[in-house]
Structure 1
Amino acid sequence: MTGTFGNYEDKASLCKRPEEVNQDWLYSSVWPEVNQHYSRLGINASSFQELVEQLGILRFGHRPRVGDTFSGGGSIPFEAARLGCETFASDLNPIACMLTWGALNIIGASPEKRDELEQVQRKIFDAVDAEITKLGVEHDEQGNRAKAYLYCLETRCPETGWLVPMAPSWVISKTRQVIAKLVPNHANKRFDIEVINGVSKAEMKAAEKGTVRNGALIYDLDGRTYQTPVKTLRGDFRSPGGYTTNRLRRWEKSDFMPQPDDIFRERLYCIYWMHRDTLHKWRPSTFFASVTESDLERERKVEEIVTENLDLWQSRGLVPDMAIEPGDKTDEPIRTRGWTYWHHLFNARNILYLAKYKEYAKQDPVAQLYLAELVNYFSRLCAMKPGGAGSRSEEIWIGGVFTNQALNTFNNYGSRAFAFAPNKFPKRSFGFPAESRVECAASDTIGKDCDLWITDPPYADAVHYHEITEFFIAWLRKDPPAPFDEWTWDSRRAFAIKGSGDDFRRGMVNAYLAMAKHMPDNGMQCVMFTHQDTGVWSDMVGIFWAAGLQVVAAWYIATETTSELKKGGYVQGTVTLMLRKRSAGDRAGFKQRILPAVRTEVQRQIESMMHINDEVKDKHGESVFNDSDLQMAGYAAALKVLTAYTSIGGEDVTSFAIRPRTRGETTVVDEIVQQAAEAANSLLVPEGLGSATWARLSGMQRFYLRMMDMETTGASKLDNYQNFAKAFRVQDYSKVMGEMKANGSRLKQVTEFSSRELTDSTEIGATWLGRIFIGLQQILEEVEPQAVIHQFQQELPDFMEVRPLLIDMLRFIEKKATDTAVQEAAEVLGARLKNLRALGQ
């Protein structure tokens, strides 16, 4: 093979993971060496499972037991079981427990058991498919079968009184060049929607402009353009209590579709068909078509079925009857659509398909897992995108609800037909040799002893899983099959470890204290943690202190692959902390003695990671860790030093850890962790800037130059700017920001600073960098370079001493600035300063 690859991920994509290769073949040459190495211990293994079992017996007297009380999707228990350990997994959330159970009992099943489970699922799908076919709601008169249905909102324009379909674009398929065209129907004061195939490029371009753009309803009628903000359509207003609300009707429990006088109605506007003669083929031929009266009759039939059965289905637990509880994420469907019950997020077809599937699958735990999969793909919250967009070659793309961790509503959406239901069964099976158990319980109520606890705990800014998983809980909570019937089918929001501050710390302390109590003295805990906030790392110190644990090792692992979604300021790795029970006896520490030890450990950690970066960059052309990773490793190093002490400055660490904090309080631990961050940052000299220059710069100057360097690699995540501002102790970083969007942040360019922002009274204006910005602006305004230098001499009493620093920063700006004019100005000014021979010249 010839050619080169752009990065390590491209090369790795050609390879298989170790677990994908025949294990006997892969490791056959390894085991003799392993057995020889451990011969003094009597080890004789021919697989990882045998090795783990034998090592466990030597250390603990039995096969090792691994536990995880924050199991989430179950990756930690799964990998422990794959290596031959007994596993215990628990989570407060029943959806997390179900995913963990599935990983252990479906993918972890023997090949024979896996085949048996697959046959059961196929029978259920075939039974539901036969019933849907018998109802005749997915087939037309010619025998073609629907693959997907496209729906859009429809609203009445307050200016014209016309009903207007709502969509951000009327392009249906780029691959097939299919669009939906709005045709005025003056008799009924609404638009007919025609689906047209094989249109011209000009027509495709015109169709890209939908009727919802920039938060407004925009459409043309009789040569005139009408525009109404969506907020106006909803009737947004401020309530007496100061909350934003609107005049959308709040749907009732009996509702599943809009009423005729609702602000937002719903309309079927296109059907994606599979040709009757190719239904038996693996890839049937397909076509897009306008909606006919026969199609609408089939829609009405579905609606009648749901109307007649909804109460019965809800009472039997086949359809949710659970109200949506307001919250950070669950407010979205309430606010934007008026939906108040979870079944409102599903249209009539969705409800019919899911109710029928659950009726057949009710007593099968594997089928319950598949129900959750179907719920994700049969919903009004499924976005659709035209085929051929980006790298997609399919004719049309319909996603799932959770393409991100939110409950986003759409003006138009795609609804799969049951024939297109996702029903893939895992191909791999492992046949785990040891026992595994999954419990739905809070992390501080465990009753199982484990030799090793491996956890990836919730962070202070964690995703609100306790809210968004209610989307699934609503469908699964009534009459679940064994073993799910042993669990509490509620998100238990009040008990979830979330937020920050005292509640976060108390929840985490109780969790790790419980794990420590259910761990032998020679046991260990492994905690994986990813966070850039100094305050949260201070909290982690207190959490481990109060739980009687000491960090004995900390290292950094690159866990995130580089992708378009991960570029910029996203942390690329995870700090892995190893903890033991803290030794008995007192060890007092004082800030003056601890700080040098922290700095030494930080330097050791950072330098080792930078060495890895250099090695990997030489071999693969890019580094493993970015600046955010290196900064976070400094926190981990501080954690390792601090948790060895039982008192700090005369105060017992356990009492310090659990006492409430006062607002604005800065504790001795906060100071030490902040010092660790500063020690790390002092080592993170931006590429192209001298270390001597970096050492003399103030926090604001370091912040601007560091972020300027990171922006050259695509740093745009606001969290990254916030965290580095804290690390450099910048008072108000917003003053030097050009944009402050969540994923589109950037610094102000040199030319964007006003003269008022560069005075001595501002944080940036009083610095050497601020003087440079003024000088560059003057050069761009064609002021003579010599006059600019003269001004430097007048305003900087130590001009000759700082001249090398100014030259170094100008050289850096010349390389990193995105504006060519600024680059040239920096080159001119830097050259003049470099060639300066005497004062006044």
Structure 2
Amino acid sequence: MKYLLRCLYLQNLLESGNFPIEIVNIASAKEKGPGRPPFWEMIFWWTRKPLASARAVILASLLSSDFDVERFIRIIFPSYMGRGRFSKTPHFLNPNLKLLNREYIEKIKRTRLLDPFAGFGSIPLEAVRLGVGEVVASELLPTAVVFLRAVLEYPKTAVEKKIERQLLNDVVRWGRWVLEELKKDPDVKELYDPDVAVYIGTWEIKCPYCGRYTPLIGNWWLARVKEKRGFKSLAWMTPVKTEKGVEIKIEKITDRSVLQTAKTIRRGRRTIGIEIGDKKIIVGDPALNGEPNIDAQTNKAVCLYCHANIKGTKEKWHVKEVLREWNERLERYLNGEISLEELRQSPARPRLLVKVRIVNKDLEFEPAKLEDDEKLWKALEKLKTLWGDPDIPTELFAPYQMGSAGAFRITLWGFDKFYKLYNSRQLLIFVKLVKLIREAGKKIEEEKQKQGWNREEAFKYAEAVTTYLAIALSKYHDYSSVVSVWNPSLIPGHTITFRGIAMVWNWTDISPFASFTGSWTRNVKTMETSLKYIINSIFGSSNSVKILLDDATSLGKISGERFDLIVTDPPYRDDVAYAELSDFYYVWLKRTLSDVKSNVLVPRFYPEAFFECLDDRCSSRVEIRTQWEKYAPLEISVSSGRADFFRKIIGVEAGSDEDFREKLGKAFKRMAELTKDDGMIVTYYAHTDPSAWEALVEAGWRKAGLRVSVAYVIATESEQRVTARGKMALDASVVVVWRKGSGGVGFVQEVENKAFEEALRRVDEALKIGSSLDINLFLKSLAGVLSVYTSYSELVPDISVKEIVERSFSLALKALVEAVYKRGGVEKPLDPYSSAYVALKLVTRASEEKAKARGRESKIEFRRGRVDRTFASFLGVFSNINVDILIANKILAKKGDELELLEPEPDSLTEQSIRRALENLLHEKNLDPSKPENFKTAVDALHYLELKAI
């Protein structure tokens, strides 16, 4: 009875069976490519939740369960046209709150919302757009707090003071001022050719066999840009042996008719050449047959002068050793211990390969010359005169690798300090930009005071403009470093797009004066575009926004406050090592947003982010050198390298699985404490696998006393697939709704029976209203099971959370299959193989639905669904068949670390394509259609009958 009363408490649309998850997912999936929110282009961040899903989840949490769904859709997505179509990317239009009655508007205005893991601010931004009365966004890391203020605080303040146009203009004006001042600098004038946008460089090493320097080239391609017919651009490098050494020759195809008919030649995953009619062209060194002359994964390099193989082992390799020596010598030179000539004679050194010009909006490539390399050495001499300047980032990288959470492989090559990530010209330019941005901030403050602003207002305004300029600089050095790779698609790569910072070849050095992706000029324009979007998004909202630098396990800066709604994306086990990786931004933001006195960094803007108080009154502060030193031990994630380092060096437990569970539990407990009794917690979680659910249930139920209400799979778009997410629904997050109220004692067998009945009820109700047979239906079933288990605070006999999750997955699958049977008129249970097949079909349909959601109904891509072995093992609980038997009977097949459901894969809906796919499937399963008596299972018979029916 107690449980049933709790079930009746489902008061909102999100917890009802009416939430339009399919449409929300279609809207979320559109936030990709050109549909990305413009403010995401401000700076690279690892994961960001779609605005469409955040908007839908927040508003649905505040509306009654019987709210009209069609009206709800028109409110959150004004551009929705029906049948999954939108007249405009959904997030571009603000929600149409005029369709809400006054009672709901007032309720939203009274609502207090918290996001304790706010990241880049998607969730709080949508709360602001919806008019939520008070929005609090908290983050552990200073870097994230700077970005949150740029997204949430400064635009809102500008709109409230009606100076948003002034803010936009000043960001652009002072961005141009910085550039013009840089142009005047005599140290800078001679470093760049006026018409060169990008220099492509690499490392050259002295061959241990012939003694000549050989460049290490990771990709011969300079341009390989596709069009609907053929290619728009094709260009590549060819090495040429001369008396002076190895020089570079540029090869390209300019004939439009040839470009349209050209086809690539591939070997494995590598494009090694092109085919034009009967003619084949292999790129690069003919002796290497299209392969690069450096492969760091296999510890192999080839001298382009004598073609000697320079091999090594993981522990010892000439290439890695001489690069370490370069970095050691560089530091010794800057410290005055060796001469420039000694440094120039290093067995490894930077070298420029190609200059890139923009001519009539196209790129032209030209080999770099000796005088271009000389500019790097000149810059280094100038840099030495600045050595000891606090604006040079000499901080150490985190001295450990992060395991599955990421890696600083670059440190294994001797790049152990941040300044070593840049060639001398890049570093010199960035240091000068830091000083100019700092000067601009002071001039802005002075200007506003002269205009009659009070000191506090002038200071805060200067902080805002300076922040956007600091972010523009961060974006610049993300695109221009010796670890940002040139991409033949004609777009430079980020330094930190990987789960770490890796050694690359063919790096990019972008001129600050060029209008090119990642340049200072382009980045200032990006800040303007981003700001315009945010200002338009929040225009007219009258709510309050608060940004906190705080630890989610304690949230000590929130006292005596309780929230109606907490919506957040908590960390998962193998999450990105944010503290360590975002130090790449931190060390530059700290300098740009601080001041210098007596050759030491001192607080100016964001003192709490970059300096630590030495007493309770903060009368004096000390610089926080890096985030990894202060905040990595506080982060919630598993990192084997982090765990080993902090355990051995300072005796702190940080990064272990036990530490992750403990901290996640503390965070959930604190969220529960801050939630009103009738409030709600909504968590995104980027996993569908059982082990992740185990950590989630332990934190939410065991540690925080919460119960699961409902769950959905919502399409999410991240900057990249930063980890191997749940394979049942790629690029998706599970949204779980939590309520307070677990209590009482439940007997396991009775609880299990109730859980199964609840799951069956929810699935049946969902099917009655036309829900799709997909992963979301499984999640409804799983949430039904967990809602019963987690409604009790104690189970008898006591069972582990792991066992609860295992039972829940199995019961959810069983309920799902039985509900489908019931709807299909199947009175008796099917055989175990058929049950397993049906269950797998239901939970692996995400890939098929994904193709439809992208608007390619004319050519649907039917890809086989995949699950991991752990998930597949739960099938055995209700079907009495283990995974190995399913593989032996050709229902599943091994595909690397995953399992693939064997089913037809037509490339279209034509009869011919379907027939061919079924014939291929039977052949793959070693089945002869003429001998059906040899079929092993009813699943074999199903595929045979499907073929016969065509």
TM-score (norm 1): 0.70
Preserved CA contact (<8 Å) 1:541 1:642: no
Q: 1:129 aligns with which of 170, 179, 188?
A: 179
Structure with greater contact order relative to length (CA < 8 Å, sep ≥ 6): 2
Cα distance between partner residues in 1 of 2:688 and 2:94: 40
Find the counterpart in structure 1 of residue 471 from structure 2: 369
- Any conservation in 2 of the 1:699–1:728 contact (CA below 8 Å)? no
- The alpha carbon displacement at 1:227 in A equals 4.0
How far is the alpha carbon of 1:504 from its aligned partner?
2.5
Unaligned runs of 5+ in 1: 1-6, 36-42, 44-50, 58-62, 238-244, 276-282, 388-395, 616-622, 657-664, 751-771, 793-802, 817-822, 832-841
Question: What does residue 192 of structure 1 align with?
Answer: 247
- For 1:247-326, what aligned pairs fall within 5 Å after superposition? 249=324, 251-252=327-328, 254=331, 264-274=348-358, 286-312=363-389, 316-326=390-400
Structure 1 residue 358 and structure 2 residue 431: aligned?
no
- 1:450 aligns with 562
Distance apart, 1:643 and its partner CA: 2.0
Shift of the 596–437 alpha-carbon distance from structure 1 to 2, 3 Å rule, reads same
Distance 1:524-1:547 versus aligned 2 partners, 3 A rule: farther
Give the letter for the 2:548 counterpart.
E
Rg larger in structure: 1
C-alpha separation in 2, matches of 1:710 and 1:79: 26
Q: How does 1:548-567 map to 2 (within 5 A)?
A: 548-551=704-707, 553-560=709-716
Any residues of structure 2 matched to 1:67-106 within 5 Å, and which?
Answer: 67-84=114-131, 85-106=133-154
Alpha-carbon distance change, 520 to 324 in structure 1, aligned in 2, over 3 angstroms: closer
Query: What corresponds to 1:403 in structure 2?
Result: 497
Change (3 A) 1:611 1:413: farther
* Cα distance in 1 for residues equivalent to 2:332 and 2:86: 51
Count residues in correspondence: 696
Aligned equivalent of 2:939: 809
Q: Which residue of 2 aligns with 1:696?
A: 832
Which of residues 533, 537, 554 in structure 1 aligns to 2:689?
Answer: 533
Q: Given the alignment of the two structures, is residue 379 of structure 1 paired with residue 379 of structure 2, yes or no?
A: no
C-alpha displacement at 1:337, in angstroms? 2.3
Structure 1 residues 210, 369: CA separation in 2 closer, same or farther (over 3 Å shift)?
Answer: same
What's the RMSD between the two structures over aligned residues?
A: 4.7
Instruction: Check whether the contact 1:78–1:100 (CA below 8 A) recurs between aligned residues.
Output: no
* SS of equivalent to 1:487: helix
Mapped partners of 1:631, 1:262: distance in 2: 61
AA partner of residue 399 (structure 1):
G
Q: Does 1:597 align with 2:748?
A: no
What one-letter code is carried by the residue in structure 2 that aligns with 1:182?
P
SS at 2:482 equivalent: coil
Q: Is 1:211 equivalent to 2:341 in the alignment?
A: no
**How much does 1:270 deviate?**
0.7
Which residue of 2 is the match for residue 498 of structure 1?
Answer: 637
CA distance in 1, matches of 2:356, 2:312: 29
1:669 maps to 2:825: no
1:66 and 1:454 in contact (8 A); partners too = yes
Q: 1:55 aligns to what SS in structure 2?
A: helix
Task: Report deviation, 1:89.
Answer: 1.5
**Residue 74 of structure 2 corresponds to which residue in structure 1?**
none
Q: Does the 8 Å CA contact 2:139/2:549 hold for their aligned counterparts?
A: yes
Are residue 55 (structure 1) and residue 107 (structure 2) matched?
yes
Three-state SS of the structure 2 residue aligned to 1:418 is: coil
Once the two structures are overlaid, the 10-residue window that deviates more, 520-529 or 435-444, is: 520-529
Q: Write the letter of the residue equivalent to 2:395.
A: D
Matched-pair contact (CA < 8 Å) for 1:173–1:179: yes
> How big is each residue's C-alpha offset from its partner over 1:638-672, in whole Å with a ceiling of 9 and x where there is no partner?
32112211221065xxxx8xxxxxxxx77652453
Task: Give the alignment partner of residue 239 of structure 2, picking from 182, 189, 210.
Answer: 182
SS at match of 2:239: strand
Matched, 1:434 2:510: no
Offset at residue 151 of structure 1 (A): 0.8
> CA, structure 1 residues 630+83, in 2 after alignment: closer, same or farther (shift >3 Å)?
same
Alpha-carbon spacing, 1:678–1:474, altered in 2? closer, same or farther (3 Å): same
Could you tell me how far apart the structure 2 residues matched to 1:815 and 1:484 are?
69
**In the alignment, residue 581 of structure 1 is paired with which amino acid?**
K
Give the corresponding residue for 1:757: none
The match for 2:506 among 391, 406, 412 is 412
CA apart distance, 1:411: 1.6
Secondary structure of 1:524's partner? strand
**1-side partners of 2:150 and 2:510: how far apart?**
25
Structure 2 letter corresponding to 1:476: L
Q: Deviations over 1:758-779 (max 9, x none)?
A: xxxxxxxxxxxxxx99996485
Per-residue deviation, residues 529-588 of structure 1 (Å, max 9, x unmatched): 3422223323333322345543363142533379997997434644433333327xx521
- Among all aligned residue pairs of Structure 1 and Structure 2, give the percentage whose two residues are the same amino acid: 18
Matched, 1:521 2:677: yes
**SS in structure 1 at match of 2:127:** helix
Instruction: Please tell me whether the aligned partners of residues 481 and 495 of structure 2 are also in contact (alpha carbons under 8 angstroms).
Output: yes
Return the offset for 1:705. Answer: 8.1
Aligned to 2:184, what secondary structure does the other structure show?
A: helix
The 1-side partners of 2:417 and 2:571 are apart by 28
SS of equivalent residue, structure 2 residue 125: helix
Deviation at 1:191, TM superposition (A): 0.7
Partners of 1:609 and 1:129 in 2: CA distance: 59
Q: Give the secondary structure class of the aligned counterpart of 2:676.
A: coil
Deviations 1:351-370, CA, capped at 9 Å, x for gaps: 12221222122353333333
Question: Structure 1 residues 260 and 722, CA, compared in 2 at 3 Å: closer, same or farther?
Answer: farther
Letter of the structure 2 residue corresponding to residue 590 of structure 1? F
1:544 corresponding residue in structure 2: 700
Give the Cα–Cα distance (whole angstroms) in 2 for the partners of residues 749 and 511 of structure 1: 43
Question: Which amino acid is 2:567 matched to?
Answer: I
Instruction: Indicate whether 1:108 and 2:150 are aligned.
Output: no
Structure-1 separation of matches of 2:825 and 2:315: 54
Structure 2 CA distance for aligned equivalents of residues 272 and 354 of structure 1: 21
Give 3-state SS (helix, strand or coil) of 1:521's partner.
strand
Q: Which sits farther off after the overlay, 570-579 or 530-539?
A: 570-579
TM-score (norm 2): 0.63
1:576 alignment partner in structure 2: 735
The equivalences for 1:648-667 within 5 A come to 648-649=795-796
Separation in structure 1 between the aligned mates of residue 118 and residue 302 of structure 2, nearest angstrom: 50
Q: Distance in 2 between matches of 1:215 and 1:650?
A: 53
| Aligned 8 A contact 1:72 1:96 in 2 | yes
Retained in 2: the 8 A contact 1:569–1:715? no
Unaligned runs of 5+ in 2: 1-25, 31-82, 225-231, 259-275, 285-289, 335-341, 442-465, 595-602, 611-623, 639-655, 849-860, 905-920
